[in-house]
Structure 1
Amino acid sequence: MKKLKNVFVIALLAGLIGWGLLNAGEDNAIDTPVNSDLSDVEVGIEQGNLAPDFELETLEGEALRLSDFRGEKVILNLWATWCPPCRAEMPHMQDFYEKNKDQDMTILAVNLTTQERNTSAVEPFVYDEFQLTFPVVLDVDGDVGTMYQAYSIPTTYIIDTQGLIQNKVVGPMSYELMETLMDSID
């Protein structure tokens, strides 16, 4: 009986060790491709999707595409001037950008121009009131806001260097939250 018990214990331990070896590293696995071939990655707005590309113009009339920032971490922020939480997060975004802009990261702020009560308020908001130095583009047709489902603003997507969405935040972000989210991605 003792011999049978020892065989059972050894078999159980061997099974547990085998299971552990098979599952080793699963908790640390990255669900995103490690190469630059993203042809099999779905384009969409869910975590792990390739962020849908778009082209919008800055206040100066310069055309910018989201894909222009491939290779950098991107905080894609959708906002409007009248939105109190958007106003609350802008100083944190500016501080974060100034301290980290040389670290292969950017903030791309998409003004939801179709939601603005007064479109002439955007320029003074950006330059005079908040003195924003990160890229600000205008969604004058509302296509990007719709595509990224910015039903409640601010809505922010954290995009890794491969262009994959890693997180979505609805509501204002603090400096500390931006730091945590950006530190957690490649």
Structure 2
Amino acid sequence: MKRSLQITLLVVVAALGLAAGLAWQAWRDQPATVPDATGTPGSDARSTITSLVVGKRRPDYQLPDLEGQARSAAAYDGKVVMVNFWATWCPPCVREMPALEELYETYRDRGLVVVGIALDNGEAVVDFVDPMGIEYPILIGEDDGIDISRDYGNRLGVLPYTVIIGRDGIIRHAHPGEIDLEQARAYVEPLL
């Protein structure tokens, strides 16, 4: 009798372990929810991010550019700076790059700098950017870029993610999600 009780308990424990393992795997494999980060006014992601960083001094960073030269946020002090966090594998990031290039070409003589911080490895970024004809500075962020993006208010990990900084180094706007030329102009022109 004692032996059959031990076997029954062993079967019950094994069944519970199997059920728990299957439940954990099902929970782990469910698709992640992506926050609404379209950049539309009033979206939860936008409101959250804006409240975290707008009005605060921009954090410093130091990252290599495409040639391997170290660049810091302080190098752009006194200019209006648009920092754009992006990745080569992010379709909205790639779609907005021509608008950012046009904005840079139009306003750089008036003191605008667009800085792209790529969350990829250097070789992938160089191979990707070269044929695109992007003239604004591109920095290689890799894993450090993710931390810098968080420092700039991107707690949700949204890509693309853009921050506009005034000449005084204060963050004036944060834009989660794809940005178009008209939105970018609306953020930048009053600061020039």
Taking structure 2 as the reference length, the TM-score comes to 0.67
Cα offset for 1:96?
Answer: 1.1
Structure 2 unaligned segments of length 5 or more: list them: 1-50
1:144-183 aligned at under 5 Å gives the runs 144-150=148-154, 151-183=157-189
Task: Confirm or deny: 8 A CA contact 1:72 1:105 kept in the other structure.
Answer: yes
Give CA-to-partner distance per residue, 1:16-35, whole Å, 9 cap, x none: xxxxxxxxxxxxxxxxxxxx
Q: CA–CA distance in 2 between the matches of 1:99 and 1:125? A: 23
2:28 counterpart residue number: none
Q: CA–CA distance in 1 between the matches of 2:171 and 2:149? A: 16
| Greater fraction helix | 2
Residue identity in the other structure for 1:164? I
Over aligned residue pairs, what C-alpha RMSD do you find?
A: 1.8
Residue identity in the other structure for 2:183? L
Q: Identity rate of aligned residues, in percent?
A: 30
Aligned length: 138
Cα offset for 1:140?
Answer: 2.7
1:62 to 44, 58, 69: 69
1:26 counterpart residue number: none
Residue identity in the other structure for 2:115? L
Secondary structure, in 3 states, of the residue corresponding to 1:184?
Answer: helix
1:8-157 aligned at under 5 Å gives the runs 46-113=53-120, 120-128=123-131, 130-142=132-144, 143-150=147-154, 151-157=157-163
Taking structure 1 as the reference length, the TM-score comes to 0.69
Cα offset for 1:45?
Answer: 5.5
Aligned structure 1 segments of 4 or more residues deviating by more than 6 angstroms: none
Cα offset for 1:86?
Answer: 0.2
